């Protein structure tokens, strides 16, 4: 089973949000705010509400498009991204233009109930009664 690694340090500073990947990169990742950061960094997904991360904060993410995650921080602050895409679809796409997101067993009721829970949102099946 092939696996593709993606390791990147994102240097922050200035007023511009920095994407964690420059192109569509769907993978299983761990995102870490450097413990050497002078202060909190902000992270946001799909230009949504930012979340403040203190130095050293880390989170594992499963099958997320890293280009849709952005970080903002002070001069000298960094965020480390360590990721891999396992399997035969290293880009994580189920079909053109649709992201690959793992569905959790409780997601159907949380997302409106009904329908079947596919292994991948964007693949066959539906959530929410469709």
Do residues 106 and 74 both lie within one domain? no
* In contact, 87 and 102? CB cutoff 8 Å: no
User: What is the model's pLDDT at position 88?
Assistant: 57
Three-state DSSP state, 110: helix
Do residues 121 and 63 both lie within one domain? no
78-96 per-position pLDDT tens digit: 999 999 877 655 454 433 4
**CATH code for the domain in which residue 41 is found:** 2.60.120.10
DSSP 74: -
Q: Record the pTM.
A: 0.64
Do residues 33 and 67 both lie within one domain? yes
* In contact, 74 and 38? CB cutoff 8 Å: yes
- Separation of alpha carbons 106 and 73, rounded Å: 34
- Separation of alpha carbons 123 and 93, rounded Å: 9
Do residues 30 and 65 both lie within one domain? yes
User: What is the model's pLDDT at position 63?
Assistant: 86
Mean pLDDT score, 10-33 = 93
The H-or-E segment that residue 109 falls in is helix 107-110
């Amino acid at each position: 089973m092939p696996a593709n690694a993606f390791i990147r340090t994102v240097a922050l500073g200035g007023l511009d949000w920095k994407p964690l990947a420059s192109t569509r990169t769907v993978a299983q990742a761990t995102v870490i705010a450097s413990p050497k950061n002078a202060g909190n960094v902000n992270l946001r997904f799909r230009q949504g509400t930012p979340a403040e991360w203190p130095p050293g904060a880390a989170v594992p993410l499963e099958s997320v498009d890293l280009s849709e995650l952005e970080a903002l921080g002070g001069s000298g602050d960094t965020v480390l991204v360590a990721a891999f895409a396992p399997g035969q679809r290293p880009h994580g796409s189920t079909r053109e233009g649709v992201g690959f997101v793992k569905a959790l067993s409780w997601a159907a009721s949380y997302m409106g109930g009904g329908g079947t829970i596919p292994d991948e949102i964007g693949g066959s099946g539906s959530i929410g009664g469709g």
